[in-house]
Structure 1
Amino acid sequence: MAKNSRRTPSRRDSGRRGSVTVIEDHVSRSYTRNAKIAFWVVSVVAGLLAATILADHWHPIIALILGGAIGALVALPIAAVIAIWPVLRVIVWWLPEIHAAAGLVYGFMILAQHTTLAIRLTVIGTLALPFALPVVRRQVMKVAWCVISRHRLRTCFAAFIIGNNRASLPFVLWARPTLVGESVWLWLRPGLAMSDLEGRLEQIAAACWADKVTVERASQSNSALVRVDISRRDALTGRVVSPLTDEINAADDTINQPSTLVLDTGTGGLDLDDVTEASVTDTPKNTTKNGRTDNGNKPAPARAAVTVPAARGAEDISDYID
């Protein structure tokens, strides 16, 4: 008879299925261990210093007991902060959203307690009116994308850094909007280098919902400070309105007009612009005999007038073809 390999879910497993993990178990254990170490180190050092100072006024045994108590009181808050730092770190990450939500909720409560419905609607409409302008909406969305990119970068780093136990998460310092997206400054923790981020650019871009991501050093003297440039759109694909385009249609009529060029169909001909029609008429005509003029030379070949359309934007070459 085959043994049933399916395990009956226990009460502990069923409780885990309905819970949401904010801090991972290995992270909590690590910070708890660091808190214990910090408590004993700080309590011993602070206790000895306090006992040494109190020994001048009290009995050494009493000074030692009081010094130990003082050291424990000093070390206890430090150890508590280290132990709950993962939770405090999450609160710090979401601090802008917490402030915005608290301001909206408490602001509306105060407004509702001291004003009537008509005044509340007027105030809300006045505050919401600027968002109807496209310029205001674009500026608000730029700031919103900066906040979103900070959270997306932390999520991405937690996936391929903490998940592989390689290093600590980098500090996400600040972010500002750019013409094509956002720029986020990072402080790399020990165990992490910029080359580690350069090999994950596609993953970071996918996590930030962006087109592409580049990483550069933000300081010439410190390689731990880097800048992540997030590109969401291409600035070169937009249409630029220029006043020069209005001048093109006016110049088309002049440019497209054909120009008449006089081409010499033979060799040795000259185009003398200074010779007028009267001077040509007064000159004696040469007689032609047997295909030769009276001076023994063959007559000059006929000159043909050729109309050549001028190319748009091309240079007039009539002065060079004579």
Structure 2
Amino acid sequence: MSKSTSRSPFGWSNRGGNVTVIEAPIARSYRRRAIIAFWVTLGVVGLLAAMVASEYMHPILGGLLGVVLGAVLGAVVFALVVAWPVLRVFWHWLPEIGLGLAAVYGWTALMQSTPMWGSLLVVALVVGVPAAIGPVRRRVMALVWCLVVRHRLRLCFAAFIATNRHGSLPLILPAKPTPAGERVWVWLRPGLSLRDLEQDGQVQKLAVACWANEVRVMRASRRYAALIRLDITRREPLAATIVSPLPDHVPTDMPANAPTSPGMPPVGLDLPDVPDTPATLTAETPRPRKPRNPTTEASPTNGFDPSDYA
């Protein structure tokens, strides 16, 4: 695998016509993990299988059988760990791959069971009706944006947000549409915290990469600090202009002497007659006395007369 300085959005890099699917440091790290996983699987599975097989056959044959089973399972684990960086790409694109397979096999099954005009009619109804109905179209587009945002966030974590030395990216959990945009849950890996996303303008970079107006990052769990929530804002639903139907109910031929509501302010008030300067108290003006409170102004004995018990 060749080293390269240019990297594509899918994690590939190329230089001089050579394509690098996995970066060399990441490939070496996963190779070391695969070797460790192979020997651990060989030891654990081989020992357990040999102990079980020795109960039914000669101990030497049981030990050989355990070594063979451990080596086979260790080889499988080794292959999975080494190929995991590539398998992870398929895992990230699993919803799109599933939708593509469903569309291809659905179209094939439809063509085999119906004539051409019937197939075209079904496709026109399935595609045209949601596109013509506004609420259905907006719901479908909101789900599409959820898929897009997950890929954009993954690209952000791989491009400019710090990761650990193994290059492990955070786990992007499911996303759901909101009236303002999308909401995504993320599980952070060791080496990354919520403060890393809040400093140095990382939130603004996330908003730019997600083609959004604003991104808010906050904790999603009081128990686990690794679980965070990203609220991606694309529109302001509260800033939309709402046309009120109340003016349509006001009659146009209202007479001039129509009675008004008791809560209406008085009509004919001459404001210039009210002085601008507020009234001030003078020395001759008696100050209002506070009302007496019988509960607080009780006698020193608090109503107790010793002569009653003499």
Same fold by TM-score, threshold 0.5 exceeded? yes
Q: Distance in 1 between matches of 2:30 and 2:166?
A: 17
Determine which of 240, 265, 275 is the counterpart of 1:315.
Answer: 265
Q: CA contact under 8 A between 1:210 and 1:232: conserved in structure 2?
A: yes
Q: CA contact under 8 A between 2:180 and 2:236: conserved in structure 1?
A: yes
Q: CA contact under 8 A between 2:150 and 2:172: conserved in structure 1?
A: yes
Q: Distance in 1 between matches of 2:137 and 2:50?
A: 63
Q: Distance in 2 between matches of 1:54 and 1:177?
A: 55
Q: Distance in 1 between matches of 2:52 and 2:113?
A: 58
Task: Tell me the equivalent position of 2:10.
Answer: none
Q: Distance in 2 between matches of 1:59 and 1:235?
A: 75
Task: Tell me the equivalent position of 1:139.
Answer: 139
Identity %: 46
Q: Does 1:228 align with 2:227?
A: no
**1:145 Cα deviation (Å)?**
0.4
CA RMSD of aligned residues (A): 3.0
> Structure 1 length as normaliser, TM-score?
0.70
Task: Tell me the equivalent position of 2:127.
Answer: 128
**1:227 Cα deviation (Å)?**
0.7
Q: Encode CA deviations 1:154-190: one digit per residue, 9 max, x unaligned.
A: 0000012467848621111100000010000111111
Matched residue SS, 2:45: helix
> Structure 2 length as normaliser, TM-score?
0.72
**1:136 Cα deviation (Å)?**
1.7
Task: Tell me the equivalent position of 2:53.
Answer: 54
Task: Tell me the equivalent position of 1:30.
Answer: 29
Matched residue SS, 2:22: coil
Q: Encode CA deviations 1:188-247: one digit per residue, 9 max, x unaligned.
A: 111111111122101111110100100111111111111100001112221113233435
Q: Encode CA deviations 1:222-280: one digit per residue, 9 max, x unaligned.
A: 11111100001112221113233435x659978xx79xxxxxxxxxxxxxxxxxxxxxx
Task: Tell me the equivalent position of 2:306.
Answer: none
Matched residue SS, 1:241: coil
Q: Distance in 2 between matches of 1:157 and 1:44?
A: 37
Q: Distance in 2 between matches of 1:146 and 1:64?
A: 53
Q: Encode CA deviations 1:114-146: one digit per residue, 9 max, x unaligned.
A: 332221221122112211122221111100000
Task: Tell me the equivalent position of 1:118.
Answer: 117
Matched residue SS, 1:176: strand
* Residues 299-310 of structure 1: pairs in structure 2 closer than 5 A: none
Task: Tell me the equivalent position of 2:108.
Answer: 109
Q: Distance in 1 between matches of 2:64 and 2:166?
A: 43
Q: Distance in 2 between matches of 1:195 and 1:251?
A: 61
Task: Tell me the equivalent position of 2:308.
Answer: none
Q: Distance in 2 between matches of 1:86 and 1:106?
A: 28
**One-letter amino acid of the counterpart of residue 101, structure 1:** G
**One-letter amino acid of the counterpart of residue 233, structure 1:** R
Task: Tell me the equivalent position of 2:211.
Answer: 209
Q: Encode CA deviations 1:274-295: one digit per residue, 9 max, x unaligned.
A: xxxxxxxxxxxxxxxxxxxxxx
Which deviates more, 230-239 or 18-27? 18-27
Task: Tell me the equivalent position of 1:171.
Answer: 171
Matched residue SS, 2:160: helix
Q: Encode CA deviations 1:42-71: one digit per residue, 9 max, x unaligned.
A: 101221222233334444433332221121
> Is there any run of 5+ residues in structure 1 with no aligned partner, and where?
1-14, 259-312
**One-letter amino acid of the counterpart of residue 242, structure 1:** S
Change (3 A) 1:241 1:72: same
Q: Distance in 2 between matches of 1:28 and 1:253?
A: 83
Q: Distance in 2 between matches of 1:164 and 1:48?
A: 35
Task: Tell me the equivalent position of 1:289.
Answer: none
Q: CA contact under 8 A between 1:185 and 1:226: conserved in structure 2?
A: yes
Q: Encode CA deviations 1:29-53: one digit per residue, 9 max, x unaligned.
A: 2111101110001101221222233
Q: CA contact under 8 A between 1:167 and 1:190: conserved in structure 2?
A: no
Matched residue SS, 1:118: helix
Q: CA contact under 8 A between 1:167 and 1:189: conserved in structure 2?
A: no
Q: Distance in 2 between matches of 1:246 and 1:184?
A: 43
Q: Distance in 2 between matches of 1:37 and 1:162?
A: 26
> Is there any run of 5+ residues in structure 2 with no aligned partner, and where?
1-13, 258-262, 274-310
* Residues 87-98 of structure 1: pairs in structure 2 closer than 5 A: 87-98=86-97
Change (3 A) 1:157 1:252: farther
